A and B are shown apart, each in its own frame.
Chain A
């Protein structure tokens, strides 16, 4: 398991969704972001699991609906 690193999370997030880092805020949400679809979400989860060597529970995968929640949930796994 890797340690919590916000930069690494943001890099993965930007790489998968193809959006610039300066557009990422905690409130950036699945429901309003056109690039963030369920397919991208699956890729995001796969990348987090691979890079951080963790396995994310289904309820957490469903709860990761904005960038702030993603950080909060990954923090739980990485500390």
Chain B
């Protein structure tokens, strides 16, 4: 079954509001008719089985274009709106892009010779009649989500119609979503967590509020204005709300639950939120793009008794934590989280080797290190992969290191993630300077980073060292650098979590 048909299988009332924003509302009938219009257009110019690049913020155009691409039997390639021009150019080389759908605001990013479809096409297509979905196989790729890998190169995670259906159904079940649910969506739909909000609420016959604000505090207004029943965030979402807005003093009467994923929210915030909103459910969850989105959740009733746990596998997903010998860990022992289920990706786009290194025997090796308590609840304690998680983004230190090392007068560079009150982790660069005053090099590095890297990859702080500490195998010892930075910050009176 085409994933879009699955989403619209139980449309409640076609007149019901579906996509809401301060700019206007789409009912289910509006949405389906626009999706049909664009899907028919795409099938006409492309046929099926082609790749369509989609670059847009969370506006109605994104939702329509995304669903139309999948419904027409084509594959949606999702990239972040802040993608560096160089990376976008390499995507055009590596992929077989048949059509480009882009929000007008980002048209300048698209190479000149490429014809792009923007939101301007929508009014022209609305009169088109119903479009029957293109037949697809369950294992056809519906969407490719590009995320940062640990090497810095973009990795395209291929998700099939089956993957999307399995994970959507499972999330609807454990969150208990109904047609009465309305999510306040601040997370971008072009990443798996944001996409899961869209999928699950369409499937449940609920509604989605596009909450695009210059500042997250605006989401609190949107929850009240639109009477949202649900809210979703990554750690930095909640950290910003707690530290920079009156969130904890709000009543938010319409809100039934909150969900959190995308990295570990420090326990003190979980406790503060759970205690401030004792009547509301707080779901702590764990997932990965490679698993479509979600792998585990902690039942809200246990949020304080199992504080810091990501819970157990969601319906349809088996999670194991295995030690180096491949045996299940004993309580207290650490091992790698391994997942099995219909939500595990088909593989990485154009990279069978990397696919084989993480999927073995239909099992996903997540690279996340965890312990399991005597009741079977999983606690994540670290990552095997060298990845920084900042503001909900996965960031490869290697990519930033390579960029800074390519600059003049830089002899070496190490990029680390340090604990940060707001961002979860902050990107910090430690640079070994060439023969040049540090002040001017600092300015040059930051200017170049701002010009060539997306804002979330620009180092928050820069430190200079004469020599990097080396470990036993003569490699730069990242742990020693991180530890000395942390103790240095403490001396200056800056307290980490």
Contacts and interface: CB of A to CB of B under 8 A. Distances in A.
A and B assemble together: yes
Q: Is the interface of B mostly helix, strand, loop or mixed?
A: helix
Tell which of A17, A62, A64 has the most Cβ of chain B within 10 Å.
Answer: A62
A31 B245 CA distance: 22
Nearest to A30: B214
A38 B216 contact: yes
Interface residues of B, number: 22
A39 interface: yes
A7 interface: no
Residue of B213, B221, B456 most packed against chain A (CB within 10 A): B213
Contact of B244 (A43, A58, A64): A58
B450 A38 contact: no
Given A18-B450, A58-B246, A38 B214 contact: yes
A65 B455 CA distance: 18
Given A61-B215, A65-B214, A42 B240 contact: yes
A61 B245 CA distance: 10
Nearest to A31: B105
Chain A interface, DSSP helix/strand/loop, else mixed:
helix
Given A18-B450, A58-B246, A38 B422 contact: no
A38 B214 CA distance: 5
Interface string A38-77: 1111110100000000000011011011000000000000
A79 interface: no
Residue from B108, B221, B450, B456 whose CB has the most chain A CB atoms within 10 Å = B450
A62 B451 contact: no
B105 A61 contact: no
A37 B82 contact: yes
Contact of B217 (A17, A34, A43, A61): A61
B106 A42 contact: no
Interface in B88-113: 105-106, 108
Given A18-B450, A34-B106, A39 B391 contact: yes
26 contacts: A18-B450, A18-B451, A30-B214, A34-B105, A34-B106, A34-B108, A37-B82, A37-B455, A38-B213, A38-B214, A38-B215, A39-B391, A42-B215, A42-B244, A58-B215, A58-B244, A58-B245, A59-B217, A61-B244, A62-B213, A62-B214, A62-B215, A62-B217, A62-B221, A64-B214, A65-B214
Interface of A: 17-18, 30-32, 34-35, 37-43, 45, 58-59, 61-62, 64-65
